[in-house]
Structure formats: structure tokens, C-alpha cells
Structure 1
Amino acid sequence: MPIKKDIIWRVGAIYTLVIIFAILIVGRVVALQLFEGDKWRSKAQSLSRRDVIVSANRGDICAADGRLLASSLPYYELRMDFQASGLTDSLFRSDVDSLALCLSRFFKDKSAKDYRNMLWKAKYRTKSNRYFLIHRKKINYIGLKKIKTFPLFRLGQNKGGLICEQENRRIQPHLNLANRTIGYLLDGQQNQQIGKVGIEGAFENDLKGVDGISIIQKMSGRWLPVNTVEPKDGNDLITTIDVNYQDVAESALEQQLIKYNADHGSVVLMEVKTGAVKAIANLGFDEASQSYKEDYNYAIGEATEPGSTFKLASIMALFEDGYVGPMDSVDTGNGVFSYYKEKMRDSHPGGFGKISVQEAFEKSSNVGISKLVNEHYKNKPRSFINRLYEFRLNEPLGLDIKGEGIPSIKYPDDPTWSGVSLPWMSIGYAVQQTPLQTLTFYNAVANNGKMMKPRFVKELRYHGDVIQTFDKEVLKSRICSGETLKNVRNLLEGVVLRGTARNLRNSNYTIAGKTGTAQIADKNKGYKVKVYQASFVGYFPADDPMYSCIVVINRPNKTKGFYGNQVAGPVFKTIADKVYAMSYSMHPIKPDDLDFEPKVPISLNGSKDDLNVVFDELNIEIANKDIQSDWVISSRKDSIIEYKYRIIKKFMVPNVKGMGVQDALYILENAGLKVMVKGVGSVTKQSIEPGSYFKKGDFIRIGLS
């Protein structure tokens, strides 16, 4: 009996434990379902499903005529999945040698044997061989197309194991052209690049688009897409920049910076009536490369003492308040005048004596302008400063591009105000302006008193359709009276006709403007070290202004020259001459031109078939039309066009002079040469003489004008 009880007790205990264990299991199942179900379902899903960001294509930045200034191009990282389902041992072994040879020839960094050993080791001796990196170098789309023709890789991902991971790179086809204004991208979160500088930064939200999401799920050991939210591409942005004008501005500025060993300089060319910036160049000397580069947007960001270009504001205040007129006189004496212990000097030795207000401005007399301002505003300096404020010279322009320098014109209650503040401010010292702020003021004078906000963008487009237009914006409808405008425009023309900028005169069109030569303070030694800033700002044609322009060159070598007309003026004239030559609307129609007899047009040398199409359409007779040559030299002879042979021989450098850039590139690149192009227009020079022998892959430079 005791044994039976013992057995019953044991069975009961076991049964009780089983019941308790079952209750615990059921309770845990209920808890998992009711309270922790979402947590574990989410965890299971995270192990089998992933959200992958699909980057949107960033919009292009284009010039006014649609030419690309910045664009995103795809580049690819090559990897190989050695565990791809279709990549069998027999298939790999049969093609690995051929693949290694192709990779060696493509990358040209290792032998075919080295590539074969690398692939073999990755296949059979490496554990993590699912996404093996083939090469660190990322390749472009053209290279990818070639890679996909290689053995194994041409079989696709499942059978050949090729994996191509794409990333977009932002490039500027015109290299440094307006580089700082266009801007660039910086690394952001999740390996994404975002615009922080220039137009890229100002219009980041429009350019970046909206990223999509691809949901991928693990099935049979492979990640496959199960659902996708498509990305929305960014908008394309059409700027106001004219590539041809920009090229001229940068080239002219660089040449002058080199000539005078200057530290840096900037140029801005603006449309008078709209404020559209057609060219903006900023070049600074780079110690590392010993050349000039776009390292900072000086035109927008650098506020300095403008010097004599500020005299326009001073003379306008005097005219507007009715204190003087252009024909009134001022005694400049011997060119030296003292304000307390500080001496004001004219650059002209011995001074100008007694001259008119107009002459004081045209000759840029520091003594003359400062005496006029000090005489009439000494006891009421607030009136003078208020006039400058009315001209809007104390306010930023409110540009879309970040980093605008802050203008500074202190008020008489400023703690640093003294008895010499007024005369020195009148000639552009103790005030600060950026080049673009100064240009905007002069542009308002050219635009009959209407001050326009500088603008860099004219349209946003999405897949070719215009979705937003940026209209011109008026900052101030009228900066002064019509009489004052008339007087100061005559003064600005006089500066070029009779004054400090006589070297800019020409017989084709008139220029109005003002030279500036300012001694700028050194960071450490102040004005004790003589460091200069040369500038010229104005507009053209003076009688019907279409463009305004400013040139500022900082720290030229003073032993070579530092005056505004000498250092900055020639850059202005070069730009103005080129713009005038390219803008036929500026050219006045001469009476003799109205009745001229039509002439046969001058044409570039090029493809005979292309030229035939054009001349047939214009009904122009062609001599030697049946000449047996694909490429011809065309010349005008009386009322007909005459063709001459242009022979292109294998491994001999072709003669492309006189051709357009498209034809020249076609011929040279098909011959096997690598071409570098500089300038715009037709080919005027080539670095390797025609008829010289060359090796395939040699570089040749062609110059256009």
C-alpha cells in the first residue's frame, strides 16, 4: 500500500507539473499574441524585409541658352557575387582566364595573371565572397557598357555574378566657369550630398527632388523588390549666365591678374533693365597650384572700402540737396588739404587748382570732393548719411545665394565717428561695399534711377516644362530726381571722355563709369603697408545702356601698377568690346547699310555634305561642288562659294583651322587624338602642326576665337 500511494503521489506531482507547464505555455502564447505580437512581428519583418532609399536624380543647372553648367552623372562600383545561383564551377573555370584578361586591358593596372589569381581566391578561398569588390575605381556609363560585354559579366547578375552599385557625381562640364557661383555639393546624412554653396545651395530644395523607397524582401536566400515608391526627379534650373560672356570675363580677368601679380579679383556683368547677371568671375591665387582659381565668391561676399567709385554717391547727394551744380567751382589748391591732423591728397602732383565740380569728379580729385561734402554737411552730417541711406547703400541686396557681405555706412552717433569721418567717407573710406552692391547702385543710374535686384536664375523646369519663372525685381523704383540723374550720367561719360579713364575710349560705342584706386588696410599693419585695390565700374553704351559691369582687382604688385584705369579698366574694355561685337542689337544702323547689295556669307570649313545642305537652302552657287573629298575648305569668291580639298591621312594630324568646334572634335577624335578645347568660335590654332605624325591617344589643344 505504501508503494501504491507513493506511485500515485509521484504521478500526481508529475501531472500537476505538466498542467502548470501547459498553463505557462498557453499564458506565454496569449501574452505574445496580445501584448508582444507587434514587437516580434516587426522584428521578424526587419530580418526579412528592408526599406531601401532610391535617390532622386538631381536637377541640372543650365546657362541661359540651355547649355549645362552642372549635372549629375552616374558612376558605378563593380562587385561580383561568387555565390550567384547560375555561376557554376564549370562555368567559372571556363571563363575566368578570359575575364581576367579583359579586366587587365580595361583598368591597365595589373596583369591578367594577377586578376585571375584575385578572382580565383575570391571564389574558392574567401568566405565573404558574395559582394566582392572587383576594383576601387568607379567607372562611368560608357565603361559599364563595355564591362557588360566581358565573359561571365555578359551573362547578367544571376549567372555571371556582376553587381553594379550606382552613385551620382556632380560635374561641371565647363570646369571652373562660374564655379563658385554655381556652387558645389557637400556630404550630408545617409551618404547623401546636399547643396550648401552658391546656386546649388540657394535652390537645394528645387534641385534635389524627392527620394523614393524600394521595399525588398528576402526570398530563398536572395533580396528581391516587392514594392517601390518611385522617386521624383529634381527640377532643372535655368540661370541667367551667358557662357560666351562668362568665358570672356574669366579669361580677361585672369590675364590681368597674372600681368599685375594680383592676389585676387572679381568681375560682374549685368543686364541694365532686368538685373540679370550674365557673367560673374572670381579668381584668387592658389599657392599650391601656383595658379588662379575660384576659391571664394569675392563679388558677393567681400565687403571692402570701395574708394573713388563711392564718389558717385557723394556727388549725387550734393546735387540732390541742391548745394552745387556741375559747373560750380571748387579750389583743390596744391592737391593737399588737412582735416585736423589728417592730410587728404590728390594723386596728381601739385594739385588741380580751382576747377569745376564736373572736373573734380572726372579727374577724381579727393580734395575737391571731400571739401564740397565737408563744407555743406559738416554741421549736419546726418543729412549726408540719410541721403546715402536713401540711395539704399546701407542695405544688403537680399540675394538668394548665401554669404552676401554686409554693407557698412556708420551714422554720426557711432562711437567711432570723428571730425575726419565725413571727408574720408565722401571718397569711399570708412564705408564698406561688396563689388555687386556697388554695381547695383551704378546699374540704377544707368536704368533711369530704377534699382534692380541682381538675379542669377530665370526659370525652373521639370522634364522640359517651365514650372516657375523668376521675374525681375525692383529694389527701389527711383533713387533720385531726374535732374540729378541727367547730371551724374554726363559726369560718368566725362570720366571716359576727358577724365581718369580716357584709355577706355573707342570710336564704336560710348562707355560711362568711374575709376577707383583705394588703399586697403592690411590685416596686421593697417594702412602702414601700402596695399591697393583697383576698380572700374560703369555701363555701356552710355547713350542707351544695355549692360553694366564692375571689375575689382585686389593687391596688384604696386611696382607694376595699381591705379583703377590701368589695372581694372582694360578688363572692363575687353569685356565690353566682346559683348558689343556679339550683340548686334547694340550696333547702330548706318544709312549706307540700308541699300547694300546682299553678299555671299562667309562659312566655316567643314563637312562637304553639311555645307551643301546649307548652300542649297540659300540658293548659293558652289564651284567644285563635285570635288571628291568628305571635308573641304570653303572660300567666298564674288557671288559664289568655292570648295578646295582638305585631305585627312591616317596617323597624320588633320588641319582643322577654320572649322567649327563640332567638326574639329569629330575629325580629331576619330583620328585617335585626345582633344582639349579653349575659347569659343572657330578654330584658329592647334598645338600640333597639320601633317605631323602622332600616336593614338596623344593630346592636342585647339584654340577658338
Structure 2
Amino acid sequence: MVQNDLIKSLINKSIFTYIMMFIFGASIIAKVLYIQVSEGEELRKLGKQRSVIETEIEALRGNIYSSNNSLLAVTTPKYEIRLDMISNKSDQYFNANVDELAEKISLLFKDRSKHAYKKLLQKARAQKNHYLLLKRDVDYKQYIQLKSFPILKEGRNKGGLIALKTNRRELPYRNLAKRTIGIFNYEQGKYIVGLEGAFNETLKGTQGKRMMQMIDGGILMPIDPANELKPKNGNDVVTCIDIDIQDVAEDALKTQLKLHNAHHGCAIVMEVATGEIKAIANLGIEKDGSYTEKYNYAIGEASEPGSTFKTASMLVALEDHKIELSDSIDTGNGSISFYGKTIRDSHKIGNGIISGRDIIEQSSNVGIAKVIWENYQNDPQKFIDGIYKIGLQNKLNLPIKGEASPYIKNPQDKSWSGISLPWIAYGYELHITPLQTLTFYNAIANHGRMMKPLFVKEIRNTNEIIETREPIVINDQIATKETITKLQSMLEGVVLRGTAKNIKNKHYSIAGKTGTAQIAQNNRGYNRSNYKASFCGYFPANNPKYSCIVVINNPSKGKYYGSSVAAPVFKTISDHIYASHIELEQEEISYEEISKNNPSIFYKAGACDDYEQIFKYMNYDPIIDKSSEYVICLPKTDSSYYAPRNIPKNRIPKVIGMTAKDAVYLLEELGMNVQLRGRGFVKEQSLPANSKSSKGKTITLKLSNS
């Protein structure tokens, strides 16, 4: 009995358990059905929303061009290629074309065999892969080819070709003017320095929008390219930089830095009339001894300029009628003391009695310090106000970030002392950048008008000019014309008979000022092993077209004077510009008179080898620079010099002065059609030199013997 009751109790408990499980299961099923029917649509929408992401489509950043339309910075598109292997539902169509598709992909990328690609495509189709990664970093030309391949040519929906574009910034000339052009700051994720940073809003364009959906593996796939918001590409920036001058400036600077094992240096070339920056090179030494563009010293390094500042001191003294060029100054043995501190010249100048002109031409520290001290010791503020009137205490407000602030000490400053006035007179106890110094010298070349350095001349959208940057005058007249004329005369004398006579030449005139400054070692003062050499000037002196400054810091092989370290770089740059870019005024002398002593006047420009043979036959021995295949004659009344005539690649060369034979040869090598009019040498060409050449274009050459 008891056993029956136990069995009955167990059966009842089991039945109860089964009933409860049935009720629980039924409730779950009921809940699922309820969700499916009542809330399913809403939840499906929510799930889809959470797997769909709005992403940005990067706009194509505008290009940066040189003044002669060479690309300095360019954005090139790169593509990630994905394939939707089941977009085409027809197995018959796929199987009939997969062999040819695999073969073409293999030939295009050359990284896998045809068999490997066929196996990859078939496997992806079998697995119903909607988003097969085919290749990354595909360039535009390859992408266009892919679009023509079997299956893929059917487009996105039927062919399954998915291309995700990214943009890559490239510098075609690599390190050339790199700091001025600008580089990407990866820490902040944007362009900050250089022209890239200054004109970022102009260059970057407007981003587009694209909807992406998360699929298996956390991969994002575009949903509907037709509904994308297309990006608006950025505008182009056309700089004032001349790529040929930039190349020469950088190469000449690097050569001299290596020769003297210097720490760093810079070179800047400016167009006198407009302030356009034609070249700006900045090079610093690396641990391995190489030199790279690592910092923009030209605009960012303000330091004591040394003797190049004497010109500003002389300007103030001339304006205040404190000195004349013919005045005599007693410099004694080449030293003078102020409050126990001694200023010395590099050597005793003559018998110690020098003229006002000699102060600049022979770069006398004692002379300029004595003139300024004797005339302004009782009113130093008047001298400083004269410097301020020039504008040297002000920043140039460049578009490029990083310009250092100049500092011209004032008698009101706490650091002003008894030696401040004479020390400032020859370029110490003040700070100024190389570009600020060049802007001052450019004003002297420009007959007193100070121009703001101009880096950008145009903003373009494709080929349409949307903005033109005009030259800006900072100071219409930094001094009277009389003072400017005197300064010009002294600066030309520096090269003719002064401290820079080592760069004097017979072919064109140079005016400028050497500078040699000791470099302060923080709070440890100066020593005799750290120097800065500089030369700042302009050319041709009688009709200035370009100004230039060269600064070289810490040369360490014994030489440190501006004349021997910096001036040769200036001359290399000016020689190139003179021979390649400038037609200088020459005295009108009859051909008959010149030809008596200089038969080369009849042979103006042409192949270097031809000239050598001609003059060998004539037993005439002119100076010929053989560094170029072609040369141009720069005649004088009793001598001649054949300078290099550079022939640019893929651009129309300057053929003026050449024989018809040489000119036609060069132009037909570029695929151009040449029409000749007249006889003799080329006098005019219908298309400007250095403009872009194209095959089939016609150029007319006017010939003349007069």
C-alpha cells in the first residue's frame, strides 16, 4: 500500500513538472510570435540602423604649383578594390568569363598567376562572398583598366566591382622646398606648417558622405553609391617659386654646407619689384652627415645678424646727416672699447683712417660703432627710432606659420646698458630673421620701396583663376632717394673693391654686404668657434631684378667669414639666374668695333662643342663654361664669356640667339612644328620660353643678322 502511494506521488510530481515545462515553453513561443508580429518590423529597422554607418568621402586636395607650373605637391587617388562575387546571378555567364578575367587581373597586377586568381574568384563565388578583397593601393590607371575587364565591365550591380578611393599626398620634387611647401602633422592629424597649412582651407575642399553597412567580420561595405554625397575638390595654389632657381639654390647651399661641415643654413631669392619669393632653401645636418629640410630657418630663426645690419645703421646716420661718404673716421689699430668691452675689426684697415664709404665696403665694426656712438650717445632713442622707421622691428605677417618675431632693443628695456648702442650698430643685441634682413636689402635695390614677401600669386580651380595675389608695399619709402643712392653705391663697392670682391665678375654687377657674426651660447656669452656667415645683396647692381640672402651657421673647417663661406653660394645662384633668366642691358657698341678684339660676338648661342671647334679654327680662346650642352655668349668690348644655357625637359627652350639649325633641332626633338622667317640668328620666338611643350604645336622663329 505504502509502495503504491509512493509510485502515485512520483507520477503526480512528474505530470506537474511536464505541465510546468509545457507552460514555460509555450510562453516563450508566444513571446517570440508576439515580437515577430507586433514589434518585428521596428526591431529589424533598429538592427539595420545600428549596422549602418555614415562615413566621409575625402575630397581631392588641390595641387600646389611652382610659378612655371611644375607640380610641387599633388594628391593622387589610390583605390581598394573589392568584388561582390554573387552580384551576377548567372553561373553560365560567370563560368564563361572567369578564365579571361583571371588572366587579365594577373597581367595587370603581376603578383599572382592566372590559376591562383581563378581559384580565388571561384572560391569566393562558392562562399557567396559579397566583399572579396582583390587589391589595395591600386592607382587610377589600373582602376580604369579593371573597369574594362570581363564581368567587371558590367558595373557595380551586375559586375560586382567595388572601388573605395583614398587620396595620397605626394611631393614630386621630394625634399625641394619641403618645409615651405609644408608637411602633414600626424600628431594633430592636419596640415599646420608651410603653404599646406597656410592655405589649408583653400586646398582641402569639402568632404562628401557615404553610407556603409557592417557585414560579417566587422567589414564596412558601401550600400548604394548612387545616393552618395559627392565631395567638392579643393582649389589649386600657384606659388611664386621658380623650380629651376629653387633647385640651383638648394644644390649650391648643400654643396657649401658639406664643404665647410656647417650645421645648417638657408638661401632665399626674391624678385626686387614684386617681393615674389623665387626660391627658399633650408638645410640642416643629420646624424649621418647628410643635409635635409628639417626646419624653416629662413623665417623661423631670429638671431644676431652681425655685419649685414651695418647697412641699416648707416641708413639712419645718413638720414640724420650725421655722416657723409667722404668723411674720415679714425679706427686706430682696429679696436675700440666701451665700458671695458672691446669691439674689433677683423684686421687693421689701411693706416687706420677710413672713409664713411669704407665702413660698409671694408666692413669696419669699429667705424660704424664709433659713428653711432659719437652721434647718438646722448639720445640713443633717436637712433632706435630711425631703425623703427624702416620697419625692422615688425614681423612681416607671412601666411606661413612660424615666423620669428624680430627684436630691436630699446633704451626703455631693462636689459639696455652702456654698450647696447655701439653693439647694436654692428648687428648685436638684436634679433632678426634672414627673410626680414632680405626684405630690407630688397627695399634698397627697389629704390627705397619695401615689398612684403609674396609666396602665392594665384588661386585656381582647375584652369580657372579665381583669385590673384597682388604685390603688397610695406613701406613706400624707407629713406630719401639721396640716402638710397648712397647705400646702393656702397653696396656695389663691397663687391667691386671691398670684402666681397672674390665674387666680382666681368659679366654683370653685384651689390651686397658680407656678414660674420659670433653666435651667442645662451648664458655663456660668445666664443671664437661658433660663427654665422652671411651675404645679402642684389643683382644686376645697375638695374636690380633679384635680391638674395645666404646664411650658413657654424662652419667648422677653419673658414667662417661671409665672403668665403656665404658669398660663393650667392654667386652660384646669381650666375645661373643671369645666364638663364635675365636679358641685361648692355652698352650699345657697334659690331665692327667689338669684332676687332672679340670675334665671338657673331656667335651668340648654341652647342658648346660647335663653339669650341669654331674658335679653335679661328685661334681664338674665349672662356666657355662646359657644364651645359648649350651656351650663351655674354660679350664685352675686349673679351667674351660663354655661360650655360639650360634646356628644360618637356618645356619650350629659350632659342633666342641660336642658329636656325640648333633651334630647329631642339624644338623638333620635342615634336613641335617649326616655321622660320628670315635669315640669321633667332631674334624672336612666338611661344615663351619655359612654357609647356606639346607634340604637334607650331612655333614661329623670326631670324635676323642685325
TM-score by length of 2: 0.74
Task: Give the paired residue count.
Answer: 583
Cα deviation, residue 301, structure 1: 0.9
Residue 382 of structure 1 is matched in structure 2 by 381
Residue 477 of structure 2 is matched in structure 1 by 478
Amino acid aligned to 2:663: S
Amino acid aligned to 2:267: V
> 1-side partners of 2:151 and 2:226: how far apart?
27
Residue 67 of structure 2 is matched in structure 1 by 64
Q: Does 1:317 align with 2:316?
A: yes
> 2-side partners of 1:440 and 1:373: how far apart?
23
More displaced 10-residue stretch of structure 1: 484-493 or 436-445: 484-493
Residue 494 of structure 1 is matched in structure 2 by 493
Cα deviation, residue 358, structure 1: 1.1
> 2-side partners of 1:496 and 1:607: how far apart?
39
Deviation track 1:245-294 (CA, whole Å, cap 9, x = no partner) reads: 21221121122112212221111111111111111111122225x42221
> 2-side partners of 1:270 and 1:413: how far apart?
35
- Structure 2 gaps of 5+ residues are 1-33, 215-220, 594-600, 603-656, 683-690, 696-706
Q: Contact (CA 8 Å) 1:306, 1:518: kept in 2 or not?
A: yes
More displaced 10-residue stretch of structure 1: 228-237 or 59-68: 228-237
| Identity percentage of aligned residues | 46
Q: Does 1:600 align with 2:659?
A: yes
Residue 195 of structure 2 is matched in structure 1 by 199
Amino acid aligned to 2:59: A
Amino acid aligned to 1:55: E
For 1:295-334, what aligned pairs fall within 5 Å after superposition? 295-334=294-333
For 1:269-348, what aligned pairs fall within 5 Å after superposition? 269-287=269-287, 290-348=289-347
- Structure 1 gaps of 5+ residues are 1-24, 622-637, 641-659, 665-705
**Could you say what the CA RMSD is over the residues aligned between the two structures, in angstroms?**
3.8
> 2-side partners of 1:214 and 1:179: how far apart?
34
1:586 aligns to what SS in structure 2? Answer: coil
Deviation track 1:12-62 (CA, whole Å, cap 9, x = no partner) reads: xxxxxxxxxxxxx9xxx9xx9xxxx9x999958845876443333222211
Q: Contact (CA 8 Å) 2:84, 2:131: kept in 1 or not?
A: yes
> 2-side partners of 1:407 and 1:518: how far apart?
17
Pair 1:420–1:239, CA change in 2 (3 A): same
> 1-side partners of 2:395 and 2:384: how far apart?
16
> 1-side partners of 2:591 and 2:81: how far apart?
64
Q: Contact (CA 8 Å) 1:59, 1:235: kept in 2 or not?
A: yes
> 2-side partners of 1:146 and 1:292: how far apart?
41
Amino acid aligned to 1:241: I
Residue 512 of structure 1 is matched in structure 2 by 511
> 1-side partners of 2:176 and 2:94: how far apart?
49
For 1:391-540, what aligned pairs fall within 5 Å after superposition? 391-522=390-521, 526-528=525-527, 530-540=529-539
Cα deviation, residue 620, structure 1: 7.7
Cα deviation, residue 79, structure 1: 2.7
Pair 1:465–1:40, CA change in 2 (3 A): farther
Amino acid aligned to 1:257: L
Amino acid aligned to 1:232: K
Q: Does 1:85 align with 2:87?
A: yes
More displaced 10-residue stretch of structure 1: 360-369 or 208-217: 208-217
Q: Does 1:244 align with 2:244?
A: yes
2:74 aligns to what SS in structure 1? Answer: strand
Deviation track 1:74-98 (CA, whole Å, cap 9, x = no partner) reads: 111233334x322777777777777
Q: Contact (CA 8 Å) 1:99, 1:150: kept in 2 or not?
A: yes
Amino acid aligned to 1:576: S
Q: Contact (CA 8 Å) 1:215, 1:226: kept in 2 or not?
A: no
Residue 643 of structure 2 is matched in structure 1 by none
Pair 1:452–1:336, CA change in 2 (3 A): same
Pair 1:489–1:599, CA change in 2 (3 A): closer
> 1-side partners of 2:64 and 2:454: how far apart?
15
More displaced 10-residue stretch of structure 1: 140-149 or 602-611: 602-611
> 2-side partners of 1:265 and 1:77: how far apart?
43
Pair 1:463–1:99, CA change in 2 (3 A): closer
Q: Contact (CA 8 Å) 1:537, 1:550: kept in 2 or not?
A: yes
Q: Does 1:580 align with 2:578?
A: yes
Amino acid aligned to 2:444: V
> 1-side partners of 2:243 and 2:672: how far apart?
30
Q: Contact (CA 8 Å) 2:300, 2:404: kept in 1 or not?
A: yes
Q: Contact (CA 8 Å) 2:80, 2:138: kept in 1 or not?
A: yes
1:418 aligns to what SS in structure 2? Answer: coil
Deviation track 1:465-522 (CA, whole Å, cap 9, x = no partner) reads: 2221111111111111222212211111111111000011112221111000111124
Amino acid aligned to 1:341: G
> 1-side partners of 2:78 and 2:100: how far apart?
25
Deviation track 1:226-256 (CA, whole Å, cap 9, x = no partner) reads: 6454433222222111122212211211221
1:603 aligns to what SS in structure 2? Answer: helix
1:268 aligns to what SS in structure 2? Answer: strand
> 2-side partners of 1:599 and 1:536: how far apart?
35
Q: Contact (CA 8 Å) 1:216, 1:226: kept in 2 or not?
A: no
Cα deviation, residue 120, structure 1: 6.6
Residue 231 of structure 1 is matched in structure 2 by 231
Cα deviation, residue 179, structure 1: 1.6
Q: Contact (CA 8 Å) 2:82, 2:134: kept in 1 or not?
A: yes
Cα deviation, residue 199, structure 1: 1.0
1:134 aligns to what SS in structure 2? Answer: strand
Amino acid aligned to 2:576: K
Q: Does 1:554 align with 2:550?
A: no
Q: Contact (CA 8 Å) 1:87, 1:158: kept in 2 or not?
A: no
> 1-side partners of 2:263 and 2:91: how far apart?
64
Pair 1:661–1:203, CA change in 2 (3 A): closer
Pair 1:599–1:359, CA change in 2 (3 A): closer
Q: Does 1:169 align with 2:227?
A: no
For 1:208-219, what aligned pairs fall within 5 Å after superposition? 208-214=204-210
> 1-side partners of 2:51 and 2:225: how far apart?
12
Q: Contact (CA 8 Å) 2:211, 2:223: kept in 1 or not?
A: no
> 2-side partners of 1:534 and 1:604: how far apart?
46
> 1-side partners of 2:225 and 2:95: how far apart?
31
Q: Contact (CA 8 Å) 2:518, 2:528: kept in 1 or not?
A: no
Pair 1:663–1:225, CA change in 2 (3 A): closer
Residue 646 of structure 1 is matched in structure 2 by none
More displaced 10-residue stretch of structure 1: 385-394 or 575-584: 575-584
Pair 1:443–1:123, CA change in 2 (3 A): same
Amino acid aligned to 2:676: L
Cα deviation, residue 314, structure 1: 1.1
Pair 1:352–1:158, CA change in 2 (3 A): farther
> 2-side partners of 1:535 and 1:185: how far apart?
31
Deviation track 1:554-609 (CA, whole Å, cap 9, x = no partner) reads: 111232x2111111111111111111122343243634369999973323746869
Pair 1:304–1:607, CA change in 2 (3 A): closer
Residue 622 of structure 2 is matched in structure 1 by none
Pair 1:164–1:525, CA change in 2 (3 A): farther
Residue 624 of structure 1 is matched in structure 2 by none
Residue 256 of structure 2 is matched in structure 1 by 256
Cα deviation, residue 210, structure 1: 2.2
Cα deviation, residue 397, structure 1: 0.4
Q: Contact (CA 8 Å) 2:444, 2:488: kept in 1 or not?
A: yes
Q: Contact (CA 8 Å) 1:331, 1:368: kept in 2 or not?
A: yes
